[in-house]
Amino acid sequence: MYKSILVPVALGGEGIGRNLIEKAKKLLADGGSITIVHVMEEIPGYVAASIPREKLANRRKEAMTKMEAIGSAARGIKVEYDVRSGNAPNNILNAAKESEADLIIIGSHSPGLQDYFIGSTAARVVRHAQCSVLVSR
């Protein structure tokens, strides 16, 4: 059983995130915690200049609302939320280190020509993580 589990989520489909949370609940030790992390892609400066500031500010708030909806599946378990921006694999690995995670549960998209076995983000996390990683499809 694991004391601290990091669950990176893409916010396109909440069903996948909830599935990851259900797996985390089964592997979590009594008194353990789950950290849900979402990494937003950075918007290039030339694009950001044409987007209203309120819209940019609301991105983080919308991400947090969606993460809390996913985290609601972890009833009775301590859940922390972390929204970051930038390179997804690096931010996931940093979040795992900062939260002292002993397991990362990450989803992977269906394989294509570019990433035959698992998605590129999941592949980088698997290669560089300092803790166990469970890849869920």
Q: Cα(53)–Cα(71) distance, rounded to whole angstroms?
A: 28
pLDDT tens-digit map of 92-124: 999 999 999 999 999 986 555 444 555 689 999
pLDDT given at position 115: 45
Cα 132 to chain center, whole Å? 15
CATH number at residue 52: 3.40.50.620
Count of structural domains within the chain: 1
pLDDT tens-digit map of 51-85: 888 887 788 899 999 999 999 989 899 999 999 99
Please give the residue range of the domain that contains residue 39. Answer: 2-136
Contact 34, 74 (CB under 8 A): yes
Lowest mean pLDDT: which of 11-15, 66-70, 113-117, 128-132? 113-117
Residue with tokens 């997804």: 88
pLDDT tens-digit map of 30-47: 999 999 999 998 888 888
